[in-house]
């Protein structure tokens, strides 16, 4: 960014833990790589391919923690032909698609070991279930299963390139593949110079940022139940924090391009910025576009706009009262350290919401409503929009307007809390004497190359050719922080340092007041 910044630092206590397991990580890594390679075709690894035919998920219930109940349920669904067919798009926001992904996720999570259970089930269901369903279930189970600790999941932009690459590059890759000609294709960003939002498209369409967003929602999925093995601590608070940071970073990029902060979304006003994704599904057609200045319409089978407005009013009322009402009629105080967690679960809403019937699912429903505004009544039978996938949502400028809208609700809550006291900030005996920046923060664009091998179809009898996309991504020159911290206590202390970068002036050069400017601070680093 070109904006001059100020830096804030906080010190926090830290507790860390480590976990080990007995499974062979290299073996598991090889299997995962094989399962995710050419996911729309047959298994290529010779040792795994026979399992798709010979293995029976229900033959030995002892290899599951639930005695095979999840496997029996899913096998019945598959055998009865009730699961989503292969070569169709998958959307987590589609209730039936999500149900199938979670059925497979539960099979994986109930596996006691890798070689005889997880590996065999993955090989079997990879050939039987929809590709998107399989990929989502595999990613989330590897992230959350203790047995899979140590596995490095490949970046999704190389597993499902269609979700991260524009149609022009995909078409060029197919043309090159048809002639068995290696190719390296430059990928630009959507829009034109006539569209002011195109100035910051490099941020919303950055493939690393897209992967960060979808991975966060895999780490902290809204459908998570504690019965899967453990509680996701502070999930609601982290939902607020992660998206608050995305919004703050987006606003900082806008400032560096002489643009004002993004405005929030209003359900009773037009969506001023349209969006044309120039992206296509592997199967299912083009992602739908949305023209400028359209008024919100009710979405058939999803929600009415008044539903979203009612949920918002109920949430704001809860903030004003200082408590939320649970399903059983009891009240839950939110004017405390845990209040932000309760509110985050409410707004998303996740299964941790204390009353989703009354407060609704503002975030998740808003994603669907925005994604369908190009065809709200299903007249043209269009596939889901970019807002209906966590991989593609940040490409749409409306994503940041939506989260600025939710961010302002969270800010309303934060402003309702008691002010910090001097004692809250002091750590008796610990002194931060000096802090210096070594080097200068300079940003630049550099070429980033990634594989398109999984974007094209081929057969085992035809050799692969090298197909890659090249896109310019924001990077920075090396710089560092040097701090002198004294411990005047009689014993050792463990601390974490958090570095924040904050814009000092708005797009018109007017200095921010510290109280308003703090809301735009970006967490740059945290170390121990």
pLDDT in tens, 249-270: 999 999 999 999 999 999 999 9
Q: Is residue 183 in some structural domain? A: no
Q: What CATH number should be reported for the domain holding residue 65? A: 1.20.1370.10
Q: How far apart (Å, rounded) are the C-alpha atoms in residues 105 and 145? A: 10
Count helices and strands in the chain by DSSP H and E runs: 18, 10
Using the 3D structure, point to which of 390, 416, 442 is the last residue of a domain: 416
Q: Are strands 467-476 and 183-187 parallel, antiparallel or unpaired?
A: parallel
Comparing C-alpha atoms, which of 303, 296, 275, 297 is closest to residue 287?
275
286 and 328, same structural domain? yes
pLDDT (0 to 100) of residue 23: 64
141 and 46, same structural domain? yes
- With H, G, I as helix, E, B as strand and everything else as coil, classify residue 397: helix
Q: Is residue 456 in some structural domain? A: yes
458 and 410, same structural domain? no
302 and 234, same structural domain? yes
Average pLDDT of the chain to the nearest whole number: 92
Q: What is the pLDDT of residues 118-145, one digit of tens each?
A: 999 999 999 999 999 999 999 999 999 9
**Overall number of domains in the chain:** 3
Q: How far apart (Å, rounded) are the C-alpha atoms in residues 390 and 502? A: 27
Q: Is residue 212 in some structural domain? A: yes
What b/e sequence results for 447-483 when a residue is b if at least 16 CB atoms lie within 10 Å of its CB, and e otherwise? ebebbbbbbbeeeeeeeebebbbebbebeeeeeebee
Q: What is the pLDDT of residues 272-284, one digit of tens each?
A: 999 999 999 999 8
Q: Is residue 519 in some structural domain? A: yes
Q: What CATH number should be reported for the domain holding residue 247? A: 1.10.1280.10
Q: Is residue 354 in some structural domain? A: yes
Angle 397-416/339-348 helices, nearest 10 degrees? 150
437 and 379, same structural domain? no
Cα 46 off chain centre by: 34
Residues 6+ apart with CB under 8 A from 474: 202, 203, 206, 443, 444, 445
Q: What CATH number should be reported for the domain holding residue 441? A: 2.60.40.1520
387 and 294, same structural domain? yes
Using the 3D structure, point to which of 416, 435, 464 is the last residue of a domain: 416
Q: Domain containing 326: what range?
A: 196-416
234 and 369, same structural domain? yes
Asked if residue 250 lies in contact with residue 376, where contact means CB atoms within 8 angstroms, the answer is: no
In the chain, the percentage of residues whose pLDDT exceeds 70 is 96
Q: Is residue 189 in some structural domain? A: no
396 and 365, same structural domain? yes
Q: Is residue 164 in some structural domain? A: no
Asked if residue 348 lies in contact with residue 363, where contact means CB atoms within 8 angstroms, the answer is: yes
Comparing C-alpha atoms, which of 252, 299, 294, 250 is closest to residue 273?
294
pLDDT (0 to 100) of residue 528: 81
Which has the higher per-residue pLDDT, 257 or 15? Answer: 257
Using the 3D structure, point to which of 359, 390, 416 is the last residue of a domain: 416
220 and 351, same structural domain? yes
List, as one string, the DSSP characters of 315-346: HHHHHHHTEEE-TTS-EEE-SSTTHHHHHHHH
Q: What is the pLDDT of residues 141-188, one digit of tens each?
A: 999 999 999 999 999 999 999 999 999 999 999 999 999 999 999 999
pLDDT (0 to 100) of residue 22: 52
pLDDT, mean of residues 46-54: 84
Phi-psi region of 488 (alpha: psi -120 to 50; beta: other; left: phi over 0): alpha
Which has the higher per-residue pLDDT, 422 or 368? Answer: 368
Q: Is residue 172 in some structural domain? A: no
pLDDT (0 to 100) of residue 490: 86
325 and 236, same structural domain? yes
373 and 308, same structural domain? yes
pLDDT (0 to 100) of residue 6: 39
The band of 18, judged by pLDDT with boundaries at 50, 70 and 90, is: very low
439 and 366, same structural domain? no
Q: Are strands 522-527 and 467-476 parallel, antiparallel or unpaired?
A: unpaired
Whether residue 440 has pLDDT greater than 90: no
């Amino acid at each position: 960014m070109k904006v001059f910044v100020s830096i804030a630092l906080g010190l926090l206590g830290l507790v860390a833990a480590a976990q080990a397991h007995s499974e062979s990580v290299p073996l598991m890594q090889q299997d995962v790589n094989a399962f995710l390679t050419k996911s729309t075709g047959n298994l290529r690894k010779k040792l795994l391919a026979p399992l798709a035919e010979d293995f029976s998920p229900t033959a030995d219930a002892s290899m599951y923690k639930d005695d095979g109940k999840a496997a029996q349920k899913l096998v019945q669904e598959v055998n009865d032909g009730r699961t989503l067919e292969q070569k169709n798009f998958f959307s987590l926001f589609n209730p039936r698609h999500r149900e199938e992904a979670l059925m497979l996720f539960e099979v994986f999570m109930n596996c006691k070991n890798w070689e005889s259970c997880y590996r065999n089930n993955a090989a079997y269901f990879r050939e039987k279930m929809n590709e998107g369903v399989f990929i989502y279930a595999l990613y989330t189970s590897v992230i959350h299963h203790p047995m899979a600790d140590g596995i490095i999941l490949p970046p999704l932009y190389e597993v499902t390139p269609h979700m991260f690459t524009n149609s022009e590059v995909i078409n060029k890759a197919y043309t090159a593949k048809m002639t068995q000609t290696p190719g390296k294709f430059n990928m630009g960003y959507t829009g034109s110079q006539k569209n002011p939002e195109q100035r910051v498209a490099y941020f919303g369409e950055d493939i690393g940022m897209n992967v960060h967003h979808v991975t966060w929602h895999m780490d902290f999925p809204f459908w998570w139940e504690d019965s899967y093995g453990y509680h996701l601590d502070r999930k609601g608070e982290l939902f607020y924090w992660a998206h608050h940071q995305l919004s703050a970073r987006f606003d900082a990029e806008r400032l560096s391009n002489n643009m004002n902060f993004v405005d929030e979304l209003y359900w009773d006003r037009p969506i001023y910025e349209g969006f044309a994704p120039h992206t296509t599904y592997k199967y299912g057609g083009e992602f739908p576009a949305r023209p400028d200045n359209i008024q919100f319409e009710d979405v058939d089978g999803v929600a009415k706009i008044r539903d979203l407005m009612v949920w918002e009013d109920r949430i704001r009322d809860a903030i004003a009262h200082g408590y939320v009402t649970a399903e059983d009629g009891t009240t839950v105080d939110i004017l405390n350290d845990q209040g932000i967690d309760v509110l985050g679960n409410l707004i998303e809403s996740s299964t941790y919401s204390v009353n989703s019937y009354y407060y609704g699912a503002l975030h998740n429903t808003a994603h669907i409503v925005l994604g369908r505004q190009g065809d709200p009544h299903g007249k043209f039978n269009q596939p889901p929009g970019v807002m209906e996938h966590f991989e593609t949502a940040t490409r749409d400028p409306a994503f940041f307007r939506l989260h600025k809208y939710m961010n302002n609700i969270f800010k309303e809550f934060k402003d309702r809390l008691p002010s910090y006291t001097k004692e809250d900030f002091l750590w008796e005996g610990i002194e931060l004497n000096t802090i210096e920046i070594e080097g200068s923060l300079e940003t630049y664009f550099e070429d980033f190359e990634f594989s398109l091998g999984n974007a094209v179809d081929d057969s085992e009898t035809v050799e692969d050719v090298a197909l890659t996309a090249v896109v310019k991504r924001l990077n920075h020159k090396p710089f560092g922080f040097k701090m002198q911290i004294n411990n005047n206590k009689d014993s050792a202390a463990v601390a974490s340092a958090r570095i924040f970068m904050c814009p000092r002036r708005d797009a018109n050069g007017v200095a921010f007041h510290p109280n308003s400017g703090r809301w735009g601070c970006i967490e740059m680093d945290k170390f121990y």
